[in-house]
Structures are given as C-alpha cells and as structure tokens.
Amino acid sequence: MPIYEYRCQSCRRRVSIYLRDPSSSPQCPFCGSEGLVRLFSSFAMRRGGYKEIYEDILADSRLTDGMMRNDPRALAEWNKRMSRGMDEDVSPEHEEMLERMEHGEMPGGPEMAGEEPG
C-alpha cells in the first residue's frame, strides 16, 4: 500500500502517512489535525532512462490531476508509462489489478473514484 505525503495546515509539518484507503481522512501524527493537504511526491529511480518518462508524466496535467484525485485510471496510466522498457514479467494478478483500475475500481475495494469511463 502507498505512503502519501501531506502538509499539515495546523502545525505546518510535512508528514508521510501509510494509507490502505487513500479516500480516508488521515490525521497529522504530530497535532492530530485532519487539515492535511496532499503533496505530489517524488521518488528515486534505480534504473537509467526513466527520467524522461517521469518528466513526461509530470508534464501531463490531465494525468497528474487524476493522480492527485486518487483516480484509479490515472494510477493505471502512470503504472503503464513507468513500466515501458522494463524487461520484467508482469504477474496475471498485476495485469488484472491494472484492468480493474482502468475501469475505475480502486485496488483493495469496490469503491469507484474519479470520472466515469467514456
């Protein structure tokens, strides 16, 4: 499950929170406030050649907006773009999860997020 980064509007700290359900309302671990603003996080890439893909993703405002809204379709698109050029086999479970996300289903539950397909 992902770790999300937030900025607390009360104590102004940057916090990282592990969430099973990204649609839940997390609380600041320092002051207990629910006034958190999600930050778009960067991450380290171990293999060369992915910098261009990552920059392409960040330049796509439709995709980044969807990711900030926790739209499973955007997360599936991000995953596909980041996976381009990898020589690793993808498990059937991973492919099934991506297919479900492309139809708007968030992993780990039947809830729908983002816009309707179309």
What does the pLDDT read at residue 111?
41
What does the pLDDT read at residue 105?
86
The Cα 32–Cα 102 span in angstroms is 35
**Cβ 16 vs Cβ 39: under 8 Å:** no
pTM over 0.75: no
| Domain locations along the chain | 3-39, 50-102
What does the pLDDT read at residue 76?
87
Amino acid at 35: G
What does the pLDDT read at residue 1?
47
- Place 9 in a pLDDT band, splitting at 50, 70 and 90: very high
The Cα 81–Cα 33 span in angstroms is 35
Q: How confident is the model over 56-112, as pLDDT tens digits?
A: 888 899 988 888 888 889 888 888 887 765 656 666 777 888 888 888 887 664 443
Sheet of strand 36-39, all strands in order from the earlier edge strand to the far edge: 14-18, 3-8, 36-39
Q: How many CA atoms lie within 13 A of 108 on its CB side?
A: 9
What does the pLDDT read at residue 112?
38
What does the pLDDT read at residue 13?
92
**Cβ contacts of residue 47 below 8 Å, gap of 6+?**
none
